[in-house]
């Protein structure tokens, strides 16, 4: 019904444009003029200006057409020739992970101990006395120079403690096997040269590193981390709200207007609903319920999907995790790993469970999204989907839009099945860029060429490929992933010509994968994902024309404006 109404509206608006000159159109709330607008609407791919009324797109056209919608109260936004696209849709990432990362200091790119100390000093300035300051990702072997004072291969706490006398500091090592605290943190935990021996005795398999005089240096390894780690405030609801707030801000800063969360629980959904009610949820969300909580899926299957008429908090998918990753050789393969004979990886959930959840999803109107990376996992999941579809002959499998998350490595025979069953491949182009240089060791030349990150083959088979980043695994910024989609290179621009370049997306395909195809992957393509009359006024504005600039320049492009439902929710400079 709504679909029909939108089409009627569209027809009406086209008519209105056709008879321009006569002043019958309603005035717009906002007009965006003087832009380079890529609409992702095949019938009308480029425009200069857009008129918005009540959060929806009222007209799309050239400057003259749209100026006719200007009334006394119309806000006029001059895009100054910048590039506007439909709002970007992140189709697979983890909202709370993105937020929690922002609550901590990121030490991954720190090059010296002094730089680490500087970052902590900045955080101390913003903190209240007594607040814990936490961070992660430091690695002393990656520093370009070592501090003068090292004990057992690690730095010592004095400089760190000097910049943070009143705030306990706790910084986790990149490996996850050690952490670094300051004097305040050690004081709170009762760690000093008198207590160190007895504490050490309590932590089998861990070490409190001490200097020649027997003083703790601030480094705690393995199980000794718990001595201080247990004092760090746990994930309270207050902290979760803070994280969500930061994640939303991060989305808007990066031009993301819709976000598919790849696996969360009830507390997350409740938090989104609360944010919506309080007017703090500035983006649109789509949630996959995590299959790690079987009772959660059961409960939702009983009550059915929650489809938000306001298009802000929709819960309509189940998420399953069926194998590991290629890096750790956990991805489940049909043939052995090239760099570990006899090893095939493994499934992380019994396949019968995938079948059961697929049936439950079909019965209750949910979409199923299964994480599968290796070709065996992909094949087995497709088998389970097929089996489930066969049990519901009255349902058209194509309407179910089941998804496979990542779909990184596929057997040639299975590629066509994505098209046949209309299984959406939710892929993160940036993973290709980051992983392809070493993934060839795992899979070898033939398998890489035939079936790894085969975006073009999937699209040729009729499958929808939705794009994203899997943040916080990769940074949330869609532009590096957009770049990877078209260049198939590392972010350093290597290799020349790209990896398996015949699988690169065109820019138009890449833009669609990040907009309209993302909308399709959440059943929202009639509402958003392209700049068409009657659709939501969700836009992203970039300072450069990402559809024409040399590909390397995409990585220097900035988001200048993010618009959700006609409201400018972010402006860059």
Judged by beta carbon, residue 470 or residue 538, the one nearer Zn ion is 470
Binding site for Zn ion (CB under 5 A): 262, 470
How far is CA 321 from each of CA 72, 74, 331, 385, rounded to the nearest angstrom? 54, 49, 11, 14
CA 319, 323, 324, 325 dihedral sign is negative
Q: What are phi and psi of 323, to 5 degrees?
A: -150, -175
Q: What are phi and psi of 321, to 5 degrees?
A: -120, 105
Judged by beta carbon, residue 98 or residue 569, the one nearer Zn ion is 98
Q: Compute the distance between CA of residue 339 and CA of residue 440 in angstroms, rounded to an integer.
A: 9
CB of 262 vs Zn ion, minimal distance in Å: 4
Nearest to 500 by CA among 408, 380, 372: 408
Judged by beta carbon, residue 345 or residue 472, the one nearer Zn ion is 472
CB of 354 vs Zn ion, minimal distance in Å: 17
CB of 35 vs Zn ion, minimal distance in Å: 34
| 404 touches 428 (CB < 8 A) | no
Judged by beta carbon, residue 119 or residue 371, the one nearer Zn ion is 371
Judged by beta carbon, residue 90 or residue 470, the one nearer Zn ion is 470
Q: What are phi and psi of 503, to 5 degrees?
A: -95, 0
Residues ≥6 apart with Cβ < 8 Å to 413? 379
Judged by beta carbon, residue 102 or residue 558, the one nearer Zn ion is 102
Judged by beta carbon, residue 37 or residue 377, the one nearer Zn ion is 377
CB of 537 vs Zn ion, minimal distance in Å: 29
Q: Compute the distance between CA of residue 128 and CA of residue 398 in angstroms, rounded to an integer.
A: 54
Give 164: exposed, middle or buried? Use CB within 10 Å, 0-12, 13-18, 19+.
buried
What's the token pair of residue 284?
A: 């649109």
CB of 191 vs Zn ion, minimal distance in Å: 37
Judged by beta carbon, residue 470 or residue 517, the one nearer Zn ion is 470
Judged by beta carbon, residue 375 or residue 405, the one nearer Zn ion is 405
CB of 408 vs Zn ion, minimal distance in Å: 12
Q: Secondary structure of 421-469 in the HEC alphabet?
A: CCCEEECCHHHHHHHHHHHHHHHHHHHHHHHECCHHHHHHCCCCEECCC
CB of 428 vs Zn ion, minimal distance in Å: 8
CB of 94 vs Zn ion, minimal distance in Å: 6
CB of 372 vs Zn ion, minimal distance in Å: 12
Beta-strand ranges (E) seen in 109-242 are: 133-138, 150-151, 154-155, 169-173, 178-181, 206-210, 216-222
Q: From the centroid of its chain, how far is CA 350?
A: 27
């Amino acid at each position: 019904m709504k679909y029909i109404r939108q089409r009627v509206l569209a027809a009406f608006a086209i008519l209105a444009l056709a008879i321009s000159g006569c002043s019958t159109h309603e005035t717009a709330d906002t007009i965006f003029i003087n832009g380079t607008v890529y609409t992702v609407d095949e019938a009308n791919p480029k425009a200069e200006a857009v008129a918005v009324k009540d959060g929806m797109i009222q007209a799309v056209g050239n400057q003259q057409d749209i100026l006719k919608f200007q009334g006394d109260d119309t806000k006029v936004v001059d895009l100054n020739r910048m590039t506007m696209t439909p709002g970007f849709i992140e189709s697979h990432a983890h909202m709370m992970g993105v937020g929690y990362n922002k609550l901590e200091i990121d030490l991954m790119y720190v090059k010296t101990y002094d730089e680490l100390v500087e970052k902590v000093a900045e955080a101390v300035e913003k903190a209240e006395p007594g607040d814990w300051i936490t961070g992660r990702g430091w690695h002393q072997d990656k520093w370009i120079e070592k501090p003068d004072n090292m004990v057992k291969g690690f730095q010592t706490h004095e400089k760190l403690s000097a910049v943070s006398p009143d705030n306990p500091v706790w910084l986790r090592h990149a490996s996850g096997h050690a952490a670094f605290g300051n004097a305040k943190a050690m004081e709170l935990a009762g760690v000093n040269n008198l207590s160190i021996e007895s504490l050490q005795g309590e932590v089998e398999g861990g070490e409190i590193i001490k200097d020649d005089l027997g003083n703790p240096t601030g480094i705690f390894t393995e199980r000794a981390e718990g001595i201080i780690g247990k004092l760090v405030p746990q994930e309270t609801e207050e902290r979760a709200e803070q994280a969500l707030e930061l994640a939303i801000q991060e989305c808007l800063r990066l031009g993301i207007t819709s976000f598919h969360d790849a696996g969360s629980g009830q507390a997350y959904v409740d938090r989104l609903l609360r944010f919506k009610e309080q007017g703090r949820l500035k983006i649109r969300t789509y949630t996959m319920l995590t299959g790690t909580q079987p009772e959660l899926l059961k409960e939702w299957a009983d009550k059915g999907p929650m489809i938000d008429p306001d298009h802000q908090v929709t819960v309509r998918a189940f998420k399953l995790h069926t194998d590991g990753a290629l890096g750790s050789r956990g991805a489940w393969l049909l043939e052995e790993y090239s760099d570990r004979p006899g090893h095939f990886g493994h499934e992380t959930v019994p396949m019968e469970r995938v079948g059961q959840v697929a049936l439950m999803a079909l019965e209750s109107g949910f979409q199923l999204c299964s994480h599968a990376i290796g070709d065996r996992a992909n094949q087995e999941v497709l088998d389970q989907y097929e089996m489930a579809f066969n049990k519901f002959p009255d349902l058209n499998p194509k309407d179910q839009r089941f998804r496979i998350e990542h779909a990184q490595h596929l057997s040639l025979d299975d590629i066509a099945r994505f098209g046949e069953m209309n299984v959406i491949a939710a892929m993160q182009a940036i993973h290709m860029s980051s992983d392809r240089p070493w993934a060839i060791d795992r899979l070898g030349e033939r398998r890489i060429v035939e079936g790894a990150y085969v975006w073009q083959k999937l699209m040729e088979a009729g499958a929808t490929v939705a794009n994203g980043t899997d943040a916080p695994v990769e940074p949330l910024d869609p532009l590096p992933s957009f770049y990877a989609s078209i260049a198939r290179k590392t972010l350093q621009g290597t290799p020349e010509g790209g990896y398996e370049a015949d699988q690169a997306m065109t820019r138009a395909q890449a833009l669609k994968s990040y907009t309209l195809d993302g909308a399709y992957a959440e059943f929202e393509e009639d509402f958003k994902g392209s700049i068409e009359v009657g659709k939501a006024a969700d836009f992203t504005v970039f300072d450069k024309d990402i559809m024409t600039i040399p590909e390397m320049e995409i990585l220097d492009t900035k988001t200048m404006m993010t618009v959700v439902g006609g409201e400018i929710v972010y402006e860059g400079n």
